[in-house]
A = this chain, B = another copy of it.
Amino acid sequence: MSTPTRRPRADATRNRAALLAAADDAFAADGAGASLSAVAAGAGVAIGTLYKHFPTRRALVGALLAERHDALFARAEGVDLATWLRWVAEHAATYRGLAELIASDLHAPDEAGDRLAADCARMAAITERTVGAADLRADVTVDDVVTLMNAAAWTREQQGAEAADRLIATTLRGMSP
């Protein structure tokens, strides 16, 4: 079980970065379901290389979102619930179809090494903490808030930021004592 891990090859590092950049372009333009062959082409790399670096679409999206997640979680400290929900909804609007991709993973068992699943768990933990700090009716559960979070993310994607913000505000009003 020794780990004499050799330094990664230079071309591998370069290709990985090129793939991420191309994927960001493609996903921003065509949504999270954009053609992976197009991504590979955009990165100037063969399709096999893409799959070597990112075995699944989820892995690619997860890598792409990793930085954004870190930034999002870093500033979540001590923020109020309404703001947190707005932030998550805003984040979920990064690429079209992202809310569905992420939501569909809540049902799937999280494979080992899945960055996206880990980030979802972190997000759930923050949500739970933030809910605990909020003043809500006794019969409101964390699940209710998670439901609202998902719904707001989907709404933002389908109908824009204003509709999502209004949904959050109204529902939170209904949750307050």
Segment among A76-84, A126-134, A159-167 that sits at the interface with chain B:
A159-167
Chain A: residues with Cβ within 8 Å of the partner, total of: 26
Most chain B beta carbons < 10 A, residue from A148, A171, A173 = A171
Q: Are B140 and A150 in contact (CB under 8 A)?
A: no
A75-B41 Cα distance, complex, nearest whole Å = 54
Contacts of A30 in B (CB 8 A): none
Chain B residues closer than 8 Å to A169, beta-carbon distance: 174
29 cross-chain CB contacts under 8 A: A100-B100, A103-B158, A106-B158, A140-B170, A143-B163, A144-B163, A144-B166, A144-B167, A147-B155, A147-B159, A147-B164, A147-B167, A148-B167, A148-B170, A150-B154, A150-B155, A151-B151, A151-B155, A151-B167, A154-B154, A167-B171, A169-B174, A170-B174, A170-B175, A171-B174, A172-B174, A173-B174, A174-B174, A174-B175
